[in-house]
C-alpha cells in the first residue's frame, strides 16, 4: 500500500509529529504539502496541519481543498489543551473542507508550543483589549512550551500504527 504522510508546519511541531508517524510506517513517504504533486498516486494519505485562529492553517486549507482523496487520516497540533470543543471544531472544519466524499478514518491532535513571537505581539495590547495577554493566555502559553513532548510523540507513533492496522483489516475484509 502506498502511504503518503504530508504536513504543513510553521515552527516545526506538526513536522515532528509527522516524522513520528513516518517512523512507524516503513512503507510511507513523508512530504511537506508544498512538495506533493499528485495526490492520486497514493492509496492512503495522512494530512497534518497546525491550528490558526480556530481553523487549519492557510496552506493546509488550500491543500485540503485542492487535493481531493477518498481516504485520509488527519493530524494536527494546536496551542490549546486538546480534547475540548476547540479541538473538535478544528477537526470538523478540516473534514468540511475535505468534503463528504472523503472518508476520514481517524484523527490525532496534540499540543504544540506556541511561537514566543506571538506572546511578544500580544504584550503590546493594553488590558481590556481583545488581544491583551491575559493570565489565562499566559498559562496556556506556559503549558504549551514543553509540547510536543515524548508522551505526545509516542502517542503519535502508536496512532500511526493503529491506523495502518485498521487499513490492513479493511483490505483483508474486502
Ligand atoms: C498566528 C497563530 C494563530 C494560532 N491560533 C491558534 C488557535 O486558534 N488555537 C490554538 O489552540 N492554537 C493556536 N495557535 C498555536 C499553534 O496552533 C501551535 O503552536 C502549533 O503547534 C504550531 O504548529 P507548527 O509548529 O507546526 O507551526 C496559533 C499560533 C499562531 C502562530
- For the Cβ of 54 lying below 6 angstroms from any atom of ligand 1, the answer is yes
Q: What is the C-alpha end-to-end distance of the chain, expressed in Å?
A: 14
Tell me the pLDDT tens digit for each residue of 34-70: 999 999 999 999 999 999 989 999 999 999 999 989 9
CA distance 57 to 112: 14
Query: Going by CA atoms, what residue is nearest to atom 21 of ligand 1?
Result: 112
Cα(35) to ligand 1 centroid in Å equals: 22
The three-class DSSP label of residue 74 is strand
Q: Is residue 20 a contact partner of residue 156, using CB atoms and an 8 Å limit?
A: yes
pLDDT band of residue 118 (cuts 50, 70, 90) is confident
CA distance 71 to 40: 11
Q: Which fold would CATH assign to domain 3-112+147-173?
A: Rossmann fold (3.40.50)
CA distance 91 to 148: 18
Amino acid at each position: 500500500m502506498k502511504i503518503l504522510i504530508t504536513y504543513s508546519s510553521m515552527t516545526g511541531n506538526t513536522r515532528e509529529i509527522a516524522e513520528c508517524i513516518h517512523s512507524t510506517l516503513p512503507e510511507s513517504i513523508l512530504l511537506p504539502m508544498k512538495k506533493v504533486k499528485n495526490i492520486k498516486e497514493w492509496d492512503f494519505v495522512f494530512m497534518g496541519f497546525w491550528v490558526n485562529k480556530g481553523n487549519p492553517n492557510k496552506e493546509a486549507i488550500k491543500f485540503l481543498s485542492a487535493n481531493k482523496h477518498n481516504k485520509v487520516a488527519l493530524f494536527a497540533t494546536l496551542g490549546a489543551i486538546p480534547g475540548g470543543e476547540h479541538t473538535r471544531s478544528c477537526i470538523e472544519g478540516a473534514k468540511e473542507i475535505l468534503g463528504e466524499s472523503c472518508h476520514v478514518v481517524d484523527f490525532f491532535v496534540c499540543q504544540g508550543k506556541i511561537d514566543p513571537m506571538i506572546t511578544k505581539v500580544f504584550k503590546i495590547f493594553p488590558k481590556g483589549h481583545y488581544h491583551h495577554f491575559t493570565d489565562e493566555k499566559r498559562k496556556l502559553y506556559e503549558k504549551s512550551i514543553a509540547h510536543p513532548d515524548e508522551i505526545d510523540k509516542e502517542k503519535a507513533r502508536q496512532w500511526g500504527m493503529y491506523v495502518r492496522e485498521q487499513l490492513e483489516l479493511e483490505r483483508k475484509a474486502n
